[in-house]
Structure 1
């Protein structure tokens, strides 16, 4: 391994990762005293990192800084979490962990191992470097924590609405009205193209280039992955279409719909990762002679000061208000028509609420159950978001069958398309699935996928299919 670079090519999800939780950092620091990482600790950290591969919610804000060094540290952490090649300054590891970095024999974690004297490049001690870092931070303007949350929520809302609009357009493009590739009565369900596109882009923005995006703005990285891609893809819509097939007695179609949907989404993110790596290699080859120009232009776009951050937040706030106002006006004109456009405008209004709830639930990823933290490898935040959205989606589908009125159909469909479509996600689900598949325990990926699908479909059958059969709607 070269100085200043972490090479993660052998594994798509990375050979070295850094968890964002404080407990994991403390474990690594304590283990650095002995220089040996026991297997069970190594496995526990890997399980935690795999569970956090998709999203960690508002815990991502705890390490956010608007100084140049802070944004660099944050982007490197994201690069480590997502398995990317990323240049590391010589003293970064010493500044961040104080006791050195990392065990080259560890398979999937960042182990804290005390470096040899010749490996310490800087003549300064770790404490001196940290004091220098703290003095620099004191001179910088640090935004309040409350403003960080507001800014993050605004990013999520704007990109979430854009994700809803993109999903609606893909439904129309590949649906019966234009391309006639997908339909409500086929295993190629209406949301399959958006789930594939979102999973593919997750390989680009959420795995390979997430560190580069975070270098520009960590809020932009959250907005693109959790906001846009999480809202572009939907698990609840996928589950509901399979329930619709089951009530017609097409159980084989429902099974194949889940199987094909999982297969295509899983290989979409793999294809996205491989093409993004190829594009990164091409950029390195083309930009090898103009590194200075690229670095200066990159720093120009970087949101690394209080004023820039404030300007971006205010601009996005205005965009959010415009999107809401336009959606409300268009909804007022089309509401009584019962058209799909009216459902879209209502979805744009209620969609951000689903994104926010999913983002907050993501803090449960990597925590496990109880104080002992059992089953840390299970992303409970994503699991709860997908299952709960699927259940509410099934309940609203039952209401539409029972009431069968134009106004009720518009409201229920708008909530399904916007709020529930944004609350559930396939892109994050597939990112976690892919990380588990690349870990030491690949069986966990299939156990997690089967649990999500089986629980959602079983509860949806009780909420939706059983009333339809018994009441004969």
Structure 2
């Protein structure tokens, strides 16, 4: 009898040890996914995609006792579905990294698909939203360059650590704290596409990592290594401070709104203008189609008029035409955030989608710079500069990078934030300078010319 009790006690201890280990492992995975998905998750954020993906995660409870439950774990979590899983105490059960709205919504998929757009129309609508807000981000970035640059305020320049894209990166990161962190849920309550368009489309295109990397690269090649190093350090510090300041001020504004609602006797500030029916979503999509047609039409006409003369105007309008391509590519790459590497999902805390977008844009930006120097004609300068400013500027992003950095810094393992930033900068800079210097080593071109 004592042996049986001893065996039962040992079994209970082993069960508690397994459940505790499983809980810690799942919690770490969930935190890794959450910090990696803090900025963007691409098309996985669409309601039609989220419902279909969340249906694969089944969390079922078997009423054996009040304190025990059986968790059905999918194959993605490393356990075979037919393997026996020890009963886990309820306090240790980890929830899915998907939002509760997605899990609840998956129970009523037919209803949501009936009132909303079909999946293919949902994609098209979101891409049109991204294109319109991406073009607006390009225009805003150009205006900030002109405002703070040598022509007006004389704050930024190509020959100092205060690079020309620093104001747009700071303002975009500040706004990301407002609309991408604090108020993103409120915007999503009105329209999922609007939330994606503001954060991924507008703020992602307003900020640019490839332009920042290229300016530091050119400074280092011209011999100003100290300026390039300080440019990266100061830029990271100001961007991180900007999103922190944005989050804090947005929280203060939310607190003020809540106090005003309480003093006026209102219970909450829920917005009732939610775009969730088929008709309203279709109307908004058509409206954005018209806006995109107008923006592309005006840009095309101005490019045709200014192309022969060249200059900044022709480059800007050509950038507006190709900018949406960069936004779309970055949006599709963002679906890799939070998935990790391989079937085991290694390094889930690294946002591989954002990393790939920034690194690839920095490399292509450096390659285009070498092409521009090698060809050295007015037409080539216009096309290459337009692609650099528009498509590559929209493909890379600092606002999403800042949101991911901030989430990692506030997690239980803050060292990941600094590791992620170092990986992004070192890989982008190393590959960029290698590509940029190839004409010098092979053809003897003068980069400073």
TM-score scaled by structure 1? 0.77
Aligned-pair distance for 1:62? 4.6
Spell out, residue by residue over 1:155-178, the C-alpha distance to the aligned partner (whole angstroms, 9 max, x if none). Answer: 100000000000000000000000
Which residue does the alignment assign to 1:267? 241
CA distance in 1, matches of 2:167, 2:112: 48
Which of structure 1's runs of 4+ aligned residues deviate more than 3 A? Answer: 33-37, 62-65, 96-100, 112-115, 129-136, 292-295
Match of 1:190 among 164, 168, 187: 164
Comparing 147-156 with 129-138, greater Cα deviation is found at: 129-138
Spell out, residue by residue over 1:131-184, the C-alpha distance to the aligned partner (whole angstroms, 9 max, x if none). Answer: 996398279523210010001100100000000000000000000000010011
Over 3 Å counting, the alpha-carbon distance change for 1:304 and 1:185 in structure 2 is same
Tell me if 1:254 matches 2:249.
no
TM-score scaled by structure 2? 0.81
Q: Helix, strand or coil: the match of 1:425?
A: coil
Aligned-pair distance for 1:286? 0.9
Larger Rg: 2
Which residue does the alignment assign to 2:27? 42
CA contact (8 A) 2:170 2:238 kept: yes
CA distance in 2, matches of 1:58, 1:468: 41
Which residue does the alignment assign to 2:201? 227
Spell out, residue by residue over 1:181-217, the C-alpha distance to the aligned partner (whole angstroms, 9 max, x if none). Answer: 0011111000000000000000000000000000000
Which residue does the alignment assign to 2:365? 393
Which residue does the alignment assign to 1:430? 402
The unaligned stretches of length 5 or more in structure 2 are: 1-15, 63-87, 92-102
Comparing 317-326 with 394-403, greater Cα deviation is found at: 394-403
The unaligned stretches of length 5 or more in structure 1 are: 1-30, 71-76, 78-95, 101-111, 116-128
CA distance in 1, matches of 2:291, 2:61: 45
Comparing 283-292 with 413-422, greater Cα deviation is found at: 283-292
Q: Helix, strand or coil: the match of 1:187?
A: coil
Which residue does the alignment assign to 2:427? 455
CA contact (8 A) 2:42 2:333 kept: yes
Which residue does the alignment assign to 2:302? 330
CA distance in 1, matches of 2:355, 2:109: 42
Match of 2:139 among 159, 165, 177: 165
Q: Helix, strand or coil: the match of 2:285?
A: helix
CA contact (8 A) 1:156 1:355 kept: yes
Task: Map 1:102-251 to 2 at 5 A.
Answer: 114=90, 134=108, 137=111, 140-251=114-225
Q: Helix, strand or coil: the match of 1:165?
A: helix
CA contact (8 A) 2:48 2:122 kept: no
CA distance in 2, matches of 1:149, 1:207: 23
Aligned-pair distance for 1:472? 2.0
Spell out, residue by residue over 1:191-244, the C-alpha distance to the aligned partner (whole angstroms, 9 max, x if none). Answer: 000000000000000000000000000100000000000000000000000011
CA contact (8 A) 1:64 1:218 kept: no
CA contact (8 A) 1:99 1:113 kept: no
CA distance in 1, matches of 2:323, 2:113: 39
CA distance in 1, matches of 2:141, 2:327: 14
